[in-house]
């Protein structure tokens, strides 16, 4: 198993959430919650450019969050683990109670490493 210590677990969790912190990647993962899609369908669902979608799908695939499955002329992408979809739903559920606070929080801006002081 990859995780040996609590510190390594926390580091990996932080890395996971940094990966999910990108709105484009979240849009792609959200689109894939409905089932496997080819790049063109992901582009249509997210309104992102084809090159942007392809780059993010590669990143998500390398990290194991998305899996690719060739089908004829197309490659279909799906969530690498059903729990990714569950995590996205839990985030939406949580936002139902804390969205105003998150929206008002100036400590979580575009700078992911901005310290809370």
pTM of the prediction? 0.84
Burial label for 80, CB within 10 Å (0-12, 13-18, 19+), is middle
Maximal C-alpha separation, the chain: 53
Q: Give the CATH fold of the 7-104 domain.
A: Arc Repressor Mutant, subunit A (1.10.10)
Percent above pLDDT 90 for the chain? 73
* Cα distance between residue 33 and residue 58, in whole Å: 17
Question: What pLDDT digit, counting tens, does each position of 11-40 carry?
Answer: 999 999 988 999 999 999 999 999 999 999
Q: Where are the domains of the chain?
A: 7-104
């Amino acid at each position: 198993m990859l995780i040996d210590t609590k510190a390594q677990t926390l580091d990996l969790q932080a890395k996971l959430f940094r990966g999910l912190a990108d709105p484009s990647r979240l849009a792609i993962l959200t689109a894939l919650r409905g089932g496997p899609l080819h790049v063109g369908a992901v582009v249509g669902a997210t309104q992102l450019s084809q090159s942007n979608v392809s780059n993010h799908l590669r990143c998500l695939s390398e990290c194991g969050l998305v899996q690719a499955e060739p089908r004829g002329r197309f490659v279909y992408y799906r969530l690498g683990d059903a729990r990714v979809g569950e995590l996205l739903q839990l985030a939406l559920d949580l936002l139902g109670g804390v969205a105003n606070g998150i929206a008002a929080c100036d400590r979580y801006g575009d700078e992911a490493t901005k310290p809370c002081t």
